[in-house]
Amino acid sequence: MDSSEVRDLLAQAPLMARPLPPFDPDAAPAAPTALFTSWLAEANAAGVLDPGAVVLATAGADGRPDARIVALRDVEPVEAGWVFATDAASPKGIQLAQQPAAALTFYWPAQGRQVRVRGDVTQATREVSLDDFRGRSPASRVAGLIGRQSTPLAALTDWDLAAEGASRQLGNHQDAHPPGHTVYTLAAHQVEFWQGDAGRRHVRLSYTRATDGGWARSLLWP
């Protein structure tokens, strides 16, 4: 596909050329976690697919950015922690060990909304990570037990074989778990809410952690 085909395809579905909800930043709550929760509820109600799917951006020791989607597991209001889980031996896990800071970016197209979260990342205790693993569906636990995330796979049938082995392992030991399954919390120091507008009068509200633990709010030029 050459680039003009791409342009034609993009022109068929222009970005946000549709009525979008208003956003009054003066009525926004004092804490970003509260606004995030209400926007997530509205994304759910509007039928956004996978509203908890979020782009996680990291950079390791080489300083080169990397990004991929992960599933948001929770948001902790007290520490303003956005929680996700992955294998500590995966590329993102290694990058987080080298540089424990990250950014999360949500996009909810039904409402033309973006949320950006930046902060420092910590690992949960072993017990919390194990609990997270135990609470997963059988398919998710099988996939987790296989491990080796992002290492080269010679053939898809190799995965099937590994999955059979992991299923057997789970059948024999209900509590089998991968050593690297880890819950991470990104403690936000900055959270930005972006409400798109068809007329390009996008509204951006940024929350920044203040030294007293509260949040300073400011509008940003779109």
Ligand X SMILES: Cc1cc2nc3c(=O)[nH]c(=O)nc-3n(C[C@H](O)[C@H](O)[C@H](O)COP(=O)(O)O)c2cc1C
What does the alpha-carbon distance between residue 178 and residue 130 come to, in Å, rounded to a whole number? Answer: 9
Least gap, CB of 182 to ligand X (angstroms): 10
Which range, of 88-96, 154-162, 197-205, 208-216, touches ligand X by CB under 6 A?
A: 88-96
Is position 34 an interface residue for ligand X (rule: CB under 6 A)?
A: no
Is position 69 an interface residue for ligand X (rule: CB under 6 A)?
A: yes
Cβ neighbourhood burial of 114 (10 Å; 0-12, 13-18, 19+): middle
Using the rule CB under 6 A, which residue among 10, 15, 30, 53 binds ligand X?
A: 53
Is position 91 an interface residue for ligand X (rule: CB under 6 A)?
A: yes
Is position 92 an interface residue for ligand X (rule: CB under 6 A)?
A: yes
In a 13 Å sphere around the CA of 115, the CA atoms on its Cβ side amount to 23
Is position 129 an interface residue for ligand X (rule: CB under 6 A)?
A: no
Is position 74 an interface residue for ligand X (rule: CB under 6 A)?
A: no
What does the alpha-carbon distance between residue 164 and residue 167 come to, in Å, rounded to a whole number? Answer: 5
Is position 68 an interface residue for ligand X (rule: CB under 6 A)?
A: yes
Is position 185 an interface residue for ligand X (rule: CB under 6 A)?
A: no
Least gap, CB of 215 to ligand X (angstroms): 27
Least gap, CB of 221 to ligand X (angstroms): 32
Least gap, CB of 160 to ligand X (angstroms): 19
What does the alpha-carbon distance between residue 97 and residue 84 come to, in Å, rounded to a whole number? Answer: 15
Q: What are the CA-CA distances from residue 220 to residues 22, 119, 159 (Å)?
A: 16, 19, 47
Q: What is the biggest distance separating any 2 CA atoms in the chain, rounded to whole angstroms?
A: 60
Using the rule CB under 6 A, which residue among 32, 39, 86, 108 binds ligand X?
A: 86
Residue 98 or 150: the one with the smaller Cβ distance to ligand X is 150
What does the alpha-carbon distance between residue 18 and residue 138 come to, in Å, rounded to a whole number? Answer: 40
Query: Which two three-digit tokens encode residue 106?
Result: 């949500």
Pick from 31, 102, 114: which is nearest to 70 by CA? 102
Is position 147 an interface residue for ligand X (rule: CB under 6 A)?
A: no
Site of interaction with ligand X (CB under 6 A): 50, 53, 66, 68-71, 84-86, 90-92, 149-150
